[in-house]
Structure 1
Amino acid sequence: MAVLTTPRSNVELASKGRPVKETAFRLALLASLAIALIFLVALLAYVFIEGSPRLDSRLWSNMPSIRDPEIAGAQSAITGTLWVISLTALFTIPTGIAAAIYLEEYANTSKWYNRVIELNIQNLAAIPSIVYGILGLGIIARTFGLGFSVITASLTLGLLVLPIVIIAAREAIRSVPPSIREGSLALGATQWQTISRQVLPASIPGIATGSILALSRAIGEAAPLLMLGAVSFIRFNPDGVFASYTVLPIQIFNWIAQSREGFHILASAAIVILLAILLLMNSVAIWLRNRYQRRW
């Protein structure tokens, strides 16, 4: 005789097997997180231990040397990195915020060209960085005649991270409750007054966090800058936007390629400096997020 099951009994049977599956899934997630953290800690520990003999003032006060690793430093690479990332931020952040404001507040999604813009922004965020290097070489360096200079590297890296800034700014603007806009408009404010005085101040935490994280990606890029003539050995600091330059990733790449152990130690010490700059940028992002964050 067949045994009839009620809906209640089916639910009870399913609930009995659910805790086992949930526990197994949670353990799998924790194991994945633990493996990632173990490798990260091991990598950081190796870099710190390897580079500790050269973590002194010589590293940021001396210029590079191709002969003696004991007196070689990374002053020109550190200065070039600050130049490039500052100009990248100057170009990317205002452009990305303006694009996000247009797409979220003004663009008509029923128009085909706005849909094409949104589709291309999503696609550009996934393009490999070397493609942007080729683009910068062919258009910015040669067609526009800017050459292998700081401004060329900054514009190229700006194009690389611009989609990330736009996406982050759009998400931050979208998170502002519609009631804020409606209340401002109801009180007689124009659309631009509503955006500039209500929406943008409330979006600062998300915009700042996304922008700094995007710049953190740009500061570690080496592939596009190899296409743009970033010189691996420069004994002077850039004195303008059209000057030759080098950056920390290129300098690290050059030292690692050397055969002598002293240059490998220098490379590890330079990695620590690069990580310190990244940590400082991320700390600023966290501070801005906590300083201006609002709960609705």
Structure 2
Amino acid sequence: MQFRFKKLSAVIEWGTLLFCTGLVCFFLVVILYDIFSKGISVISWDFITKLPTDGMTKGGILTSILGTVFLTIITAVFSIPFGICCAIYLNEYAQNTWLTRTIRASIRNLSGVPSIIYGLFGLALFVQALNFGTSILSAGFTLGLLSLPYIITTTEEALLRIPASMREAALGVGATKFESIRDVVLPSSMPGILTGVVLTLSRAAGETAPILFTGAAFYITNAFASPNQEFMALPYHLYMLSTQHQSIEEVRPIAYGTSLVLIVVVFLMNLTAFYIRYKYRQDEK
């Protein structure tokens, strides 16, 4: 009787799991199909390489693409070195004290802070206090702060997967602690670190709220924005076309084309993360 109950319970659990997974995948397929079917007709070489004209009712999205690329680069330069160094210190050097546990808990709590709060903080710190103004630099630093908790957490998790015996072996042959981390721990944990970094940057590239307050502009005609100027980005461009434009019906096809480009960009970044992990695992074999 007890065996039958456990078997029935397992069937119900697996059935519920499969149903929920199938439901999520179904709606995902419906959304992607709707975007793809309505946006593919807009995609062309001119749409990708031309500047927007006539208040974004004509032309392409080159300015938004370049703005997103530069924004992601600034975010990466600001957040990756600092985040990885913080994770190394917490995992390899910091003692297990109440202060270290408090710092770790704070970092994990920061991961759950809404992105719009980061936008307001970036407005107060970078735009006003540090006088960077509304610019791509302020927006990149704000997204860097948003990305830091994720990079620190994923890097620390990757470092924790490395056995302590590898560190002890390096120390046993005369290497210093810094050398053991540099030559043994980091290379072994690099697949997990890079995967977390790429996935975090792909999330940051699709954020709208943080750049809404710190530098994103409605309409810019020049293809390159300096670090001290406002910029256009794909997520904010999509938001404006879908909700704030004076001719929403007229620009709706452009909005679908922009959303399709943004999805492809994020998908390629996620695919890069999986490829990096696969490549490192093959090299280890």
Please report the TM-score for the alignment, with normalisation by the length of structure 1: 0.91
Residue 86 of structure 1 pairs with residue 77 of structure 2: no
Deviations 1:232-271 (A, max 9, x none): 1111123432222110011111111233434111111111
* Mapping for residues 7-46 of structure 1, pairs under 5 Å: 13-46=1-34
2:168 counterpart residue number:
182
After TM superposition, give the deviation of residue 115 of structure 1 in Å.
2.5
Give the Cα separation in 2 of the matches to 1:156 and 1:281. 20
Give the Cα separation in 1 of the matches to 2:195 and 2:14. 29
After TM superposition, give the deviation of residue 217 of structure 1 in Å.
1.1
Give the Cα separation in 2 of the matches to 1:238 and 1:105. 42
After TM superposition, give the deviation of residue 68 of structure 1 in Å.
7.0
The one-letter amino acid paired with 1:288 is: I
CA contact (8 A) 1:64 1:73 kept: yes
1:129 counterpart (98, 115, 118): 115
**Residues 93, 68 of structure 1: alpha-carbon distance in 2 compared, 3 angstrom cutoff:** closer
Bigger radius of gyration, 1 or 2?
Answer: 1
Give the Cα separation in 1 of the matches to 2:54 and 2:103. 47
Give the Cα separation in 1 of the matches to 2:56 and 2:14. 52
The one-letter amino acid paired with 2:138 is: T
* Mapping for residues 30-109 of structure 1, pairs under 5 Å: 30-67=18-55, 69=57, 71-109=58-96
RMSD of equivalent CA atoms? 1.5
**DSSP 3-state at the match of 1:54:** coil
Q: Give the share of equivalent positions with the same residue, in percent.
A: 34
Give the Cα separation in 1 of the matches to 2:28 and 2:212. 27
1:171 counterpart residue number:
157
CA contact (8 A) 2:138 2:215 kept: no
1:6 counterpart residue number:
none
Residue 155 of structure 1 pairs with residue 171 of structure 2: no
CA contact (8 A) 1:238 1:244 kept: no
1:142 counterpart (111, 122, 128): 128
Give the Cα separation in 1 of the matches to 2:284 and 2:73. 31
Q: Which moved more, 1:112-121 or 1:221-230?
A: 112-121
Give the Cα separation in 2 of the matches to 1:228 and 1:206. 31
Deviations 1:135-172 (A, max 9, x none): 10001111101111111111000100110000000000
Residue 214 of structure 1 pairs with residue 174 of structure 2: no
Give the Cα separation in 1 of the matches to 2:120 and 2:205. 18
Give the Cα separation in 2 of the matches to 1:168 and 1:295. 20
Give the Cα separation in 1 of the matches to 2:124 and 2:45. 39
Give the Cα separation in 1 of the matches to 2:262 and 2:110. 26
CA contact (8 A) 1:76 1:236 kept: yes
The one-letter amino acid paired with 1:106 is: Y
Identify unmatched segments of 5+ residues in structure 1.
1-12
1:276 counterpart (226, 250, 264): 264
The one-letter amino acid paired with 1:29 is: L
**Residues 150, 67 of structure 1: alpha-carbon distance in 2 compared, 3 angstrom cutoff:** closer
After TM superposition, give the deviation of residue 291 of structure 1 in Å.
1.5
2:274 counterpart residue number:
286
CA contact (8 A) 1:202 1:292 kept: no
After TM superposition, give the deviation of residue 228 of structure 1 in Å.
1.3
CA contact (8 A) 1:63 1:236 kept: yes
Deviations 1:189-223 (A, max 9, x none): 00000000000000111001111111111111101
Q: Which moved more, 1:215-224 or 1:60-69?
A: 60-69
The one-letter amino acid paired with 2:189 is: S
After TM superposition, give the deviation of residue 295 of structure 1 in Å.
6.7
**DSSP 3-state at the match of 2:59:** coil
Give the Cα separation in 2 of the matches to 1:262 and 1:194. 60
CA contact (8 A) 2:136 2:215 kept: no
Moved over 4 A (4+): none
2:234 counterpart residue number:
248
The one-letter amino acid paired with 1:59 is: F
CA contact (8 A) 2:151 2:200 kept: yes
